[in-house]
Structure 1
Amino acid sequence: MHPATHPTVNAPDGRTYRTPLVRRRLLRGLLAAVVALPLVGAAAACGDDAASDGKTKISVFWWGGEARAQLTEQALDLYTQKNPDVVFEKTWQANQGYFDKLATLTAGGNPPDIFQIDDNYLTEYAARNTTLDLTPHQESGKVDTSKFPQSLWQYGVVDGQLAGLASGENTQGLVYNKTLLTKNGLPEPTTGMSWEEHIAWAEEVSKKTGVPGTMDASAVDKAFWVWLRQQGKDLYKGNDLGFTVEDVTRWFELWKDARDRGATPTPDVIHEGNATDITKQLVVTGKAATSWVWVNQMPELKKNTTDELGVIAYPGDPSGQWARASMYWSVFRGTKNADIAVDVINFLVNDPEAVKLLGTDRGLPSNLDLRRVVSDDTTDEAMKQSIAVETELAESFGESPQVPIKGHSKVRAELIKSAENAQYGRATPAEAAAQFVEACKAAIAS
């Protein structure tokens, strides 16, 4: 959903969730079952804010793999070392079903004091008055965003309220197989290439290497979003769509032309790229020379190939990209320990030791000063590459768009469905575009 690498689970940008409507229908059953689940049972104890020894207990709930869990637990333990009167109820799980469980806990009146969230759901939870407005704490300095890129912290504002604090920064990255290009005497793609130039370059790669030059990005929501911004449009405008059927038709036609020219893989392989997690993106499985990912996913991609990889901005004007919050820390509006919870999330993004511990697992550190420290300290060359590229791109970032509206996860799913209808020839680009816009309007109206 958009986001950071999960070492043992799918990357956030590959997630699909049940829609809010489906979750509401499932709530009663989930509430009945939740007490039987040890993991959720731990989070459900959030209402008890006092430990047996009189210390303040703060509950924290997040998704991710085991590596993220270990890093987060270490960072929270570090907070306790520095603040002995605060202890934590730590609960984590893989991303599958995370938002179902978070919805269950909040509906049942036992939400965690602090929870991880992303831009697929921030607007929805803010609209439910579930998230604490961090604006007063930001104004008082208790939440310090002075070292954040302005567009990064602003990407957590919903209806004038700071609903989430960016735990890390990310932006879109076009990753390419540098080894393949060098071996065949082909030029590397460059930031600033137009979309048409990118497709022409990919066509040449396909002809010379036999490897399709580019993954078809017609189903990739983050690519469509950047392309829209480069056309002076946006994904959303207020509570409505920011684009028209004609815009989507042009996008689908761009990629039909790429397929017709042999610049992309066949539909079955494109579908594989649409459906798989970050560890199996086509650029590392050798089925395409480029893949459309998030810049901070470079280290995870590199683990899955012996080839050298490069990363640049998406085609077109790089100002179409922005400092996206890979995910956020939010505080429950009804917590009995708001000041402490706010101090904890500020610690996780601004304390030098905590930030060095967490590294780039949730994206590049939001604090620019500490981002440089992490880059200097790491021995992971792919991580250094990610930080260097995003730092370079930051000089041309445009203003952040509004946080996606309720129904965004459904919009993402519908883009894949409609794009694949066009990819397989089940619909013309215009027909698939009309299907997509109709489905989007239904999703955001429900």
Structure 2
Amino acid sequence: MHPATPPTAGAPARQAHRTPATRRGFLRRFLATAVTVPLLLGGAVACGSDDEAGSDGKVELSIFWWGGDARAQLTEQALELYTKKNPNVTFKKTWQANQGYFDKLATLTAGGSPPDIFQIDDNFLTEYAARNTTLDLNEYKDNGKLDVSKFPESLWQYGVVDGKLAGLAAGENTQGLVYNKSLLTKNGLPEPTTGQSWEEHIAWAEEVSKKAKVPGTMDASAVDKAFWVWLRQQGKDLYKGNDLGFTVEDVTKWFELWKGARDRGATPTPDVIHEGNATDITKQLVVTGKAATSWVWVNQMPELKKNTNDDLGVVAYPGDPSAQWARAAMYWSVFRGSKHKDVAVDVLNFLVNDQEVVKLLGTDRGLPSNLDLRRVVSDDVTDPAMKLSIEVETKLAETFGPAPQVPIKGHSKVRAELTKAAEEAQYGRLTPAQAAEQFYAACKSAIA
């Protein structure tokens, strides 16, 4: 399964083949000028009046996503299933690797030719919604054409920007503390548990360092998702409206917490911490053997397991687990100016609520958003790491708190600045207070 790491510049786009129309039939009540026939997929959309079919009643939707070959194959198969059930709808499919995806999407948008449907994540959803690029899906949700009734409420709400539903969660994810179970068993050490305080976690990590001779925990001071959870446990948040939801003092306390952990030998040395700050999942310290834990997303467990022969476990981040929430691993959004927005929304509804297609897609974009179908998919999973991920996240869902607001414009810069400031403190070039000042000032500039 692919993590929801924001793409960066680099790889060329790949153009897929078009799926031919194979059967007659079309979307019920789709267009006044088109012949109305029975819809083979339940829940047809008929909210707007902007949809335009060709003279033959056919519609071609453009769709753009990022991911690897496996995701591309699954997505193409899912879209072929839609065409099979709605023969007058075909797709112009474009996908590419993570690198360069948002550069390409920005270019398409600036050129006035965004795809009808596109994949997006929480680093950029607010930015695209603020530009009125994304269609407000609330109307479709309210009239049942886009069914989120089986979603965790906080999951679909995590697509709301300024009161508008800008993106539909393609899957669910949450924060996970992954630990090396084999290492702990070998040394007779206890496993971490959900609900331990941050101080208890650091004390546990110090004991692991002493007994196992492997640093007990990756230093999480540069991990934005860990900082975010910690802030929510303090009654704060990463953002509040169009401003930051925390103070310099909050950041100072966070950096001091981890300086204390480093001073106690609970974490690796700065050079190794820097290694762990890399976003590449294959370089996380829990699988390179340089720390007993790593701070990741729960859905990254299977990818981590591919890179180690050791048994791994996963629990919530330290502190009150209700600070975690049902995060959209990524979203599907519809271009506001699409000539086929009603059909595009129906495709979204199909991708998350049709049992056949949800079973096909599995957990590639996170755990299925539809809880009923998530159970169906879970029953079919054979990969032990994936099974554990589903079990842990399903258990954590019982304690999830309300979703925070979707990150504001500049979030990707805020994340980068946290790493920069945290490393200044990790290497001892700045005190926690000085690093906090640097980070706060950089954040203010990033969101201005």
Letter in 2 for 1:214: T
Deviation track 1:155-205 (CA, whole Å, cap 9, x = no partner) reads 000011100000000100000000100011000000000000000000000
- Which residue of structure 1 lines up, in the alignment, with residue 267 of structure 2? 264
Letter in 2 for 1:107: A
- Which residue of structure 1 lines up, in the alignment, with residue 189 of structure 2? 186
TM-score, normalization by structure 1: 0.90
- Which residue of structure 1 lines up, in the alignment, with residue 253 of structure 2? 250
State the distance in 1 between where 2:16 and 2:441 align: 40
Q: Is the 8 A contact 1:176 1:310 kept in 2?
A: yes
Letter in 2 for 1:220: V
- Which residue of structure 1 lines up, in the alignment, with residue 29 of structure 2? none
Letter in 2 for 1:339: D
2:326 to 296, 305, 323: 323
- Which residue of structure 2 lines up, in the alignment, with residue 401 of structure 1? 404
State the distance in 1 between where 2:411 and 2:158 align: 15
1:101 to 104, 111, 122: 104
Letter in 1 for 2:357: A
- Which residue of structure 2 lines up, in the alignment, with residue 201 of structure 1? 204
Counterparts of 1:26-105 in structure 2, within 5 Å, are 39=14, 55-105=58-108
- Which residue of structure 2 lines up, in the alignment, with residue 46 of structure 1? none
SS state at 2:94 partner: strand
Residues 1:131 and 2:134 aligned together: yes
State the distance in 2 between where 1:359 and 1:381 align: 15
State the distance in 2 between where 1:421 and 1:42 align: 48
State the distance in 2 between where 1:241 and 1:306 align: 42
Q: Is the 8 A contact 1:51 1:57 kept in 2?
A: no
- The alignment yields a C-alpha RMSD, in angstroms, of 1.9
Residues 1:216 and 2:219 aligned together: yes
- Which residue of structure 2 lines up, in the alignment, with residue 382 of structure 1? 385
Residues 1:441 and 2:441 aligned together: no
SS state at 2:374 partner: helix
Worse-superposed segment, 331-340 or 271-280? 271-280
Q: Is the 8 A contact 1:60 1:114 kept in 2?
A: yes
**Uncovered stretches (5+) of structure 2, i.e. residues with no partner:** 19-51
- Which residue of structure 2 lines up, in the alignment, with residue 301 of structure 1? 304
TM-score, normalization by structure 2: 0.90
Runs of 4+ residues deviating >4 angstroms: 15-18, 40-43, 49-54
State the distance in 2 between where 1:50 and 1:195 align: 57
Identical amino acids, percent of aligned pairs: 81
Structure 1 residues 73 and 16, CA, compared in 2 at 3 Å: closer, same or farther?
closer
Distance apart, 1:55 and its partner CA: 2.6
Q: Is the 8 A contact 2:16 2:95 kept in 1?
A: no
2:4 to 6, 12, 16: 12
SS state at 2:343 partner: helix
SS state at 2:397 partner: helix
State the distance in 1 between where 2:359 and 2:310 align: 28
Q: Is the 8 A contact 2:67 2:96 kept in 1?
A: yes
Deviation track 1:235-286 (CA, whole Å, cap 9, x = no partner) reads 0000000000000000000000111111111111111111141122110111
Q: Is the 8 A contact 2:16 2:94 kept in 1?
A: no
State the distance in 2 between where 1:40 and 1:83 align: 22
State the distance in 2 between where 1:338 and 1:118 align: 20
Residues 1:312 and 2:315 aligned together: yes
State the distance in 1 between where 2:55 and 2:212 align: 66
- Which residue of structure 2 lines up, in the alignment, with residue 371 of structure 1? 374
- Which residue of structure 1 lines up, in the alignment, with residue 232 of structure 2? 229
State the distance in 1 between where 2:325 and 2:299 align: 14
Letter in 1 for 2:302: P
Letter in 1 for 2:4: P
Worse-superposed segment, 59-68 or 275-284? 275-284
Q: Is the 8 A contact 1:155 1:401 kept in 2?
A: yes
Letter in 2 for 1:443: A
- Which residue of structure 1 lines up, in the alignment, with residue 433 of structure 2? 430
Aligned residues: 415
Structure 1 residues 373 and 145, CA, compared in 2 at 3 Å: closer, same or farther?
same
**Uncovered stretches (5+) of structure 1, i.e. residues with no partner:** 19-29, 44-48
**Richer in helix (by share):** 1
State the distance in 1 between where 2:169 and 2:16 align: 27
State the distance in 2 between where 1:270 and 1:16 align: 23
State the distance in 2 between where 1:38 and 1:158 align: 28
Letter in 1 for 2:81: L
Structure 1 residues 253 and 161, CA, compared in 2 at 3 Å: closer, same or farther?
same
Q: Is the 8 A contact 1:206 1:212 kept in 2?
A: yes
State the distance in 2 between where 1:57 and 1:276 align: 37
Q: Is the 8 A contact 1:213 1:264 kept in 2?
A: yes
Letter in 2 for 1:106: T
State the distance in 2 between where 1:183 and 1:38 align: 47
Distance apart, 1:12 and its partner CA: 3.0
Residues 1:342 and 2:345 aligned together: yes
State the distance in 2 between where 1:362 and 1:52 align: 36
State the distance in 2 between where 1:258 and 1:133 align: 45
Structure 1 residues 411 and 16, CA, compared in 2 at 3 Å: closer, same or farther?
farther
SS state at 1:275 partner: coil
